[in-house]
Chains A and B, each alone.
Chain A
Amino acid sequence: MNNGERREERRTAAPALDFRPGRGNMNSRAMVQKPKDMKKTIGRLLRYLGRSRYVLLSLLVIMLLVTAADLCGPLLQGKAIDAIEPVYRNAATGEILFDYDKNDPVWGDIEVKTTFEVHFTAGNYVGRSGKTAGLVPYLVAMGVLFLCSSLLSYFQGTISAKLSQQTVYNLRSDLFHKISRLPISYTDTHRHGDLMSRMTNDAENVSNAISQSITALFSGVITLVGAFSMMLILSPVMTLVALVTIPLSIFVSAKLGKFMRKYFIRQQRLLGSLNGTVEEMVTSYETGVAYGKEGDAVNVFSGISGELRDCAVKARVWGSIMGPVMNFIGNLQYVLIAATGGALILFSGTSTVSIGNIQSMLSYSKKFTHPINQIANQYSTILTALAGAERIFEIMDSPDEIDEGTLEVSPAEIKGDIQFSKVQFHYVEGEPVLCGLDLTVKAGQKIAIVGATGSGKTTVVNLLTRFYEVVDGNITVDGMDIRQLPKRTLRRSIAIVLQDTVLFHDTIRANIKYSRPDATDAEMEAAAAHAKADRFIDRLPDGYDTVLAEGGSNLSRGQRQLLAIARAVLADPKILILDEATSSVDTRTEMHIQQAMLALMKNRTSLVIAHRLSTIRDADVIVVVKDGVIAESGSHEVLLQQGGEYAKLYRNQFAGIAT
């Protein structure tokens, strides 16, 4: 074995493992991100590993065995090579003679040659082959050892796969469960893309680090210690000589690594901004075209792309210098050991060191330097994973949605009286949205909430459902403070139809039943009919079993809204909240939806964020929200006569007369 092979091994190892489905993983791995509190994160991550402690333990044991077997390899190989030496004995006395020299007349010419023996004409000497004597047992031992080690290394591979998959499963699962317990304010204020990337990229990075780094670190350390002890046993002198190159290789890899990282990080940043540019321009393509910005966009893009090219070339060159330099150091070590060994043999003969020993030394010296590189290579993987784990834990540490209500009421018992008293609320400190809002809604009443954009209409809904908590004042349902009701009871008694309908990648049936999974098919279909959604559903080839595309994008806006109404009908709640904005639905579709909504509102307490005149006129009470309080309330006619805010709004909104 020599250095060329080790180098080959290093180059192949990565792609050989890298069969996972296509992804630009070179990029994600080269990025080194620094975790903030490493100690704490490592501790928490270890606790995750601890959940699979038996798997981890058996992995470590197997790794120990594999590494030990690996370490025995060169020793056996050296012994085998030693055994190749023919042994020459004096046939009469049995005395062993080493230095056969065909020019020495003592030996004479070879006379007879059998498989195992060489006879010489001088008569006294017989060369006995070492083949049967020594070689075969070593080879058999090697064969058995390699077989066991391969078998064990297969188990090591599967167990480490199991460990990493289990850990990433746990991480993902805990993270998702956490997300589902977070208050709405969290998802409202955090970028969705960011949450997604923590779920996927960060979890993936952690899993990579577990499957690669743990193995690499553990077996690296064992190999290091093992190889060093073996070398010491074989020859302390040669070991000392070999050690000379170690500081050199550490120094060089640290120096070169710094340059490499510098360019890789820059490359990563450029790649990020390149992707950002493409993403922004391609998704806003129409705007770009409308402004004739194509040329500019190409120039900007080309500028970044050119910078990326230059940086990538530098990164590659620095990256590729590492190999030859380490190779040179490795070969230097090889020559040093060989020279020392040669000198030892030359000056003190084979009694102190055998040829096989030198060969073993050479193999061990390679095993000795290899893990140093390997451990250094893990550095960035581990840092990236820790940074990822930190981001995951960051979410897990955010406070849960508060749900302290203990009143035992079943949703069916709730009648639907709602009362807001002196409710104050702000999303951002210092920017009040509601300032002491009072509102009373009696069970079965239909309330239309109107007001200018940003006046706080939606906030009323957010507070009633406890998506957000009031800052001051209180809200009661049937006289009970909603903070004392368990959230599930409160929300079960309310149904919401939002202007942006959320549909799931599932069948229409499941989507309607979402509000009440225990409903029968008949109830579900009745609800669809009630919502006037049955007509278009029947026309679909698979009817209720039609699977919706992600986000329901294979349905029109109007159809989506009808499904949302069907969902609310099926839930059959006591309180109904409608955000009826239909700005981009045409008049005819709107009529359809409106009919369905009117049917839905019957016999329920309804809060409607109203945009349509018809809804407003039909409402029992119209409340006008302005400056965080209710400016006025009453019926359409009364309010019009008052000539206040409502009258102004009405003229503006519906009659189209500018004031």
Chain B
Amino acid sequence: MRKLFRYLKPYRGFAILSPLLMMGEVLADLCLPYLMSFIVNYGIIGEDISESKLASTVMGILFPSGDYTSLHIIITFGVLMLLVTLVGGFFGTFCAYTAARAAQGFGHDLRRDAYARVMSLSIEQTDRFTTGSLVTRMTNDIAMIVEFVEMLLRMFVRSPMFFVGGTVFLLTLDIRFGMVLLVSLPVLLVTLILVLACAVPLFSVVQKKLDRVNCVVQENVSGARIVKASVQEEYERHRFDVANSELRSISYRVQRLMAITHPVLVLVQNFAVIAIIYLGGSSIAEGLGGMSTGNVMAAVTYTTQVVFSIMMMTTMFHSVSRALASVKRVREVMDTEPVITDGEGAVTSPEAPVAVEFKNVGFRYPGTVGAPVLHDINLQVRRGETLAIVGATGSGKSSLVHLIPRFYDATEGEVLVDGAPVGSYKLKDLRRKVGFVLQKSELFSDTVSGNIRWGRRDATDEEVRDAARVAQADDFVSGFSDGYDSMIAEKGASLSGGQKQRLSIARAVARRPEILVLDDATSALDLSTEAKLQAALRERMQDTTVIMIAQRVASVRSADRIAVVEDGTIRHCAPHEELLQISDTYRDIYASQMQKGGAANE
């Protein structure tokens, strides 16, 4: 918590001013009942104004002759009341302004830094948080904290001040009124605490039931085909109704419980009022002096204010616990140190014949034990060469290429790009050299050309089109009604897998990278399209080093060399024909895909 409060520092002026202004507002509010009691006592009932030093002094200053009627008293204190209201409102508004400036400024800075932190984390670190949780941390949790800070600056001053101030003013009216508070407050507190103690644990149950309802809906929406194909609509409706009625009954239980608080609050308050009228009334009736109708009325107001401040404080405790949970979740992000950091800037040899080199590279995922994912990798990829990588799922192909743009750092050995260790590059420079097309093609809600231009912002329309042509995307894009200006909705939900992959490739091509990595990025293309793509790449990007992972032998056979990865290391690396001779694994793969009954061999 304290660490996040650092973010308030630039706004400390506002943050300090705000509670002070709030005090002004509360004081003004507390003065009002006193002024009203003057109006009632000396203006309406017509008691002797000399009983109150303050009231008579005020009137004495305004009417030095002492020549005033009770109506003058009403109007004088009425105007005073309005002035105090104005001053209080002025304080209140400025308090709101300062609190908002402090809290929103705090929120903006925190959000920016938290987001920058997320962006600087490695892929493995973001994976550990899961994307969904990162999104809520960035949005809901921070919003919750901002709201909390604002409340802290305003309400956390307001309620205790009302409590203390109201009590003090009440006791100055009559010390016996303290007894009323002494009886009513514990009753209220105990009830509130009991209700909350019962209800709070139920909140998480409600959330769980709600999740369950959402889960069923989600499954039915995304799995509509299988539900319909299995003719299980009845069953699903039943499943939903069960979840839905569970949600209803638990929500009802919670709301019923919470419904106790309001009546109890009002009841306690009203009985306190009755007690005050009784106590005050008998004082007056007995002519004991010092008590007046106006005072009773003021006391009633102070009592209700004190009772409400208690109510407010309990709700505040609740929001504290909620905010703390959010703080914890944001802190977890902020406290995660990025493991991949910028290098000093590399000294490269652009003329070197080797574009990418792996030297005795070993790798294991952070925090894992057992056999490493990669070990003893030695590989040189020449400038302009096309290298294909094949191997079973989990053999380490993807991990291997992820080391090039430093998605991960090798745990052993060295990865070099243009003769310089990847760690020595500034990340931006390194990633500018490497065009990386991921297994999962990710498009953005933008136009087609906007998506391709994402690779290089200053690409001209012609360059965008050109990149699309190389990626074999031009044909289908031209078929869209708006061509390159067509919007891609919902991250490309309307496109087929193959179309998405081609656009991702176009994006990477538009970047004109020195090294192009295709991480199984052509799996959804049919082979003739893929073959055209490869031909285009060869022709148009002769200087570009291409490293591609693929499952299909047909995709890789035309590569200059094919690396066969098995159990975390490169077993063989040679052209297709040669590999058929030397690698059993490659022959197996080839056989299973190319010849009849490959599957039945097992």
- By the criterion CB–CB under 8 Å, are A158 and B256 in contact? yes
Q: For the complex formed, measure the closest distance between the CB of B55 and the CB atoms of chain A, giving whole angstroms.
A: 15
Q: Which of B110-165 contact A (CB under 8 A)?
A: 111-112, 115-116, 118-120, 123, 126, 131, 134-135, 138-140, 143-144, 147, 150, 162
**Which residues on the B side are within 8 Å of A367 (C-beta)?**
none
Q: For the complex formed, measure the closest distance between the CB of B311 and the CB atoms of chain A, giving whole angstroms.
A: 6
Contact of A494 among B81, B218, B229 (CB under 8 A): B229
**Which residues on the B side are within 8 Å of A643 (C-beta)?**
none
| Binary contact track A339-352/B, C-beta < 8 Å → 1, others 0 | 10111011000000
- By the criterion CB–CB under 8 Å, are B116 and A654 in contact? no
Q: For the complex formed, measure the closest distance between the CB of A159 and the CB atoms of chain B, giving whole angstroms.
A: 9
Q: Decide if B240 is an interface residue (CB 8 Å cutoff).
A: yes
- By the criterion CB–CB under 8 Å, are B143 and A595 in contact? no
**Which residues on the A side are within 8 Å of B594 (C-beta)?**
613, 654-655
B247: nearest chain-A partner, CB-CB = A169
- By the criterion CB–CB under 8 Å, are A84 and B261 in contact? no
Q: With contacts A146-B266, A199-B217, A584-B551 known, is A291 near B524, CB below 8 A?
A: no
Most chain-B Cβ atoms within 10 A of its Cβ — which of A4, A149, A168, A658?
A4
Q: Which of B81-108 contact A (CB under 8 A)?
A: 81-82, 85-86, 88-90, 92-93, 95-97, 99-101, 104-105, 107-108
**Which residues on the A side are within 8 Å of B260 (C-beta)?**
154, 157
Give A658 to B241 CA distance when docked, in angstroms: 55
Q: With contacts A146-B267, A335-B82 known, is A285 near B126, CB below 8 A?
A: yes
Q: With contacts A305-B111, A653-B526 known, is A180 near B553, CB below 8 A?
A: no
Q: Which of A369-377, A440-448, A496-504, A622-630 forms part of the interface with chain B?
A: A496-504
Q: For the complex formed, measure the closest distance between the CB of A251 and the CB atoms of chain B, giving whole angstroms.
A: 17
Contact of B224 among A172, A187, A588 (CB under 8 A): A187
B393: nearest chain-A partner, CB-CB = A586
Q: For the complex formed, measure the closest distance between the CB of A413 and the CB atoms of chain B, giving whole angstroms.
A: 16
- By the criterion CB–CB under 8 Å, are A654 and B527 in contact? yes
Contact of A495 among B139, B204, B229, B280 (CB under 8 A): B229
- By the criterion CB–CB under 8 Å, are B431 and A289 in contact? yes
**Which residues on the A side are within 8 Å of B532 (C-beta)?**
658
- By the criterion CB–CB under 8 Å, are B285 and A172 in contact? no
Q: Decide if A26 is an interface residue (CB 8 Å cutoff).
A: yes
- By the criterion CB–CB under 8 Å, are B598 and A4 in contact? no
Contact of A652 among B43, B105, B286, B526 (CB under 8 A): B526
Give A157 to B40 CA distance when docked, in angstroms: 37
Q: For the complex formed, measure the closest distance between the CB of B409 and the CB atoms of chain A, giving whole angstroms.
A: 13
Give A334 to B279 CA distance when docked, in angstroms: 26
Q: Decide if A113 is an interface residue (CB 8 Å cutoff).
A: yes
Contact of A153 among B244, B262, B326 (CB under 8 A): B262
- By the criterion CB–CB under 8 Å, are B33 and A653 in contact? no
**Which residues on the A side are within 8 Å of B259 (C-beta)?**
154, 157-158, 161
| Binary contact track B429-455/A, C-beta < 8 Å → 1, others 0 | 001101110111010110000000011
Give A475 to B88 CA distance when docked, in angstroms: 79
- By the criterion CB–CB under 8 Å, are A192 and B96 in contact? no
- By the criterion CB–CB under 8 Å, are B264 and A150 in contact? yes
Give A188 to B2 CA distance when docked, in angstroms: 49
Q: Decide if A546 is an interface residue (CB 8 Å cutoff).
A: no
Q: Decide if B293 is an interface residue (CB 8 Å cutoff).
A: yes
Contact of A22 among B144, B308, B529, B589 (CB under 8 A): B144
Give A613 to B599 CA distance when docked, in angstroms: 10
Q: Which of B176-184, B299-307, B356-364 forms part of the interface with chain A?
A: B299-307
- By the criterion CB–CB under 8 Å, are B554 and A81 in contact? no
Q: For the complex formed, measure the closest distance between the CB of B403 and the CB atoms of chain A, giving whole angstroms.
A: 13
**Which residues on the A side are within 8 Å of B119 (C-beta)?**
281, 288, 294-295, 297-298
Q: Decide if A105 is an interface residue (CB 8 Å cutoff).
A: no
Q: Decide if B568 is an interface residue (CB 8 Å cutoff).
A: no
A-B contact count (CB 8 A): 532
| Binary contact track A311-332/B, C-beta < 8 Å → 1, others 0 | 0110011011101110110011
Give A81 to B405 CA distance when docked, in angstroms: 83
A2: nearest chain-B partner, CB-CB = B301
Interface size on B, residues (CB 8 A): 202
Q: Decide if B186 is an interface residue (CB 8 Å cutoff).
A: no
Contact of A282 among B118, B240, B301 (CB under 8 A): B118
Q: Decide if B220 is an interface residue (CB 8 Å cutoff).
A: yes
**Which residues on the B side are within 8 Å of A306 (C-beta)?**
108
- By the criterion CB–CB under 8 Å, are A514 and B232 in contact? yes
Q: With contacts A278-B115, A328-B89 known, is A316 near B96, CB below 8 A?
A: yes
**Which residues on the A side are within 8 Å of B442 (C-beta)?**
283-284, 286-287
- By the criterion CB–CB under 8 Å, are A20 and B301 in contact? no
**Which residues on the B side are within 8 Å of A339 (C-beta)?**
71, 74-75, 78
**Which residues on the A side are within 8 Å of B496 (C-beta)?**
453-454
Give A151 to B259 CA distance when docked, in angstroms: 11
Q: For the complex formed, measure the closest distance between the CB of B122 and the CB atoms of chain A, giving whole angstroms.
A: 8
| Binary contact track A3-34/B, C-beta < 8 Å → 1, others 0 | 11101110110011111111110110000000
**Which residues on the A side are within 8 Å of B254 (C-beta)?**
20
- By the criterion CB–CB under 8 Å, are B97 and A154 in contact? no
**Which residues on the A side are within 8 Å of B99 (C-beta)?**
316
A101: nearest chain-B partner, CB-CB = B48
Q: Which of B170-222 contact A (CB under 8 A)?
A: 196, 199, 203-204, 206-207, 210, 213-222
Q: Which of B15-48 contact A (CB under 8 A)?
A: 29-30, 32-33, 36, 39-40, 43-46
- By the criterion CB–CB under 8 Å, are A617 and B221 in contact? no
Q: For the complex formed, measure the closest distance between the CB of A627 and the CB atoms of chain B, giving whole angstroms.
A: 14
- By the criterion CB–CB under 8 Å, are B81 and A335 in contact? yes
- By the criterion CB–CB under 8 Å, are B301 and A5 in contact? yes
**Which residues on the A side are within 8 Å of B143 (C-beta)?**
24, 27, 271
- By the criterion CB–CB under 8 Å, are B296 and A81 in contact? yes
Q: For the complex formed, measure the closest distance between the CB of A73 and the CB atoms of chain B, giving whole angstroms.
A: 7
Q: Decide if A176 is an interface residue (CB 8 Å cutoff).
A: yes
- By the criterion CB–CB under 8 Å, are A323 and B92 in contact? yes
- By the criterion CB–CB under 8 Å, are B308 and A5 in contact? yes
| Binary contact track B544-560/A, C-beta < 8 Å → 1, others 0 | 00000001111101100
**Which residues on the A side are within 8 Å of B207 (C-beta)?**
21
Give A331 to B77 CA distance when docked, in angstroms: 12
Q: Decide if B541 is an interface residue (CB 8 Å cutoff).
A: no
**Which residues on the B side are within 8 Å of A211 (C-beta)?**
255
**Which residues on the A side are within 8 Å of B150 (C-beta)?**
316
Q: Which of A447-502 contact B (CB under 8 A)?
A: 452-454, 465, 467, 487-488, 491-492, 494-496, 498, 502
Contact of A146 among B270, B284, B287 (CB under 8 A): B270
Q: With contacts A135-B278, A291-B455 known, is A502 near B222, CB below 8 A?
A: yes
- By the criterion CB–CB under 8 Å, are A583 and B551 in contact? yes
Q: For the complex formed, measure the closest distance between the CB of A224 and the CB atoms of chain B, giving whole angstroms.
A: 20
- By the criterion CB–CB under 8 Å, are B81 and A331 in contact? yes
Q: Decide if A535 is an interface residue (CB 8 Å cutoff).
A: no
Q: With contacts A22-B322, A146-B271, A331-B85 known, is A286 near B444, CB below 8 A?
A: no
B275: nearest chain-A partner, CB-CB = A139
**Which residues on the B side are within 8 Å of A649 (C-beta)?**
528
Contact of B203 among A21, A181, A283 (CB under 8 A): A21
B318: nearest chain-A partner, CB-CB = A19
- By the criterion CB–CB under 8 Å, are A282 and B135 in contact? yes
**Which residues on the B side are within 8 Å of A1 (C-beta)?**
273, 297, 300-301, 304
Q: Decide if A147 is an interface residue (CB 8 Å cutoff).
A: yes
Give A85 to B280 CA distance when docked, in angstroms: 11
Q: Decide if A571 is an interface residue (CB 8 Å cutoff).
A: yes
Q: Decide if B230 is an interface residue (CB 8 Å cutoff).
A: yes
| Binary contact track B374-406/A, C-beta < 8 Å → 1, others 0 | 000000000000000000111000000000010
Apart from the given pairs A18-B315, A502-B223, A613-B593, 6 other A-B contacts in the complex at a CB distance below 8 Å = A127-B287, A135-B282, A157-B258, A287-B442, A324-B93, A334-B81
Could you list 22 A-B pairs, sorted by A, with CB under 8 Å?
A1-B304, A3-B32, A84-B285, A157-B255, A161-B255, A180-B220, A199-B214, A199-B217, A282-B118, A287-B442, A290-B431, A290-B434, A294-B119, A298-B116, A316-B150, A328-B85, A328-B89, A331-B82, A341-B44, A591-B592, A591-B599, A591-B602
Which A-B residue pairs are the 3 nearest by beta carbons? A324-B89, A656-B554, A157-B259
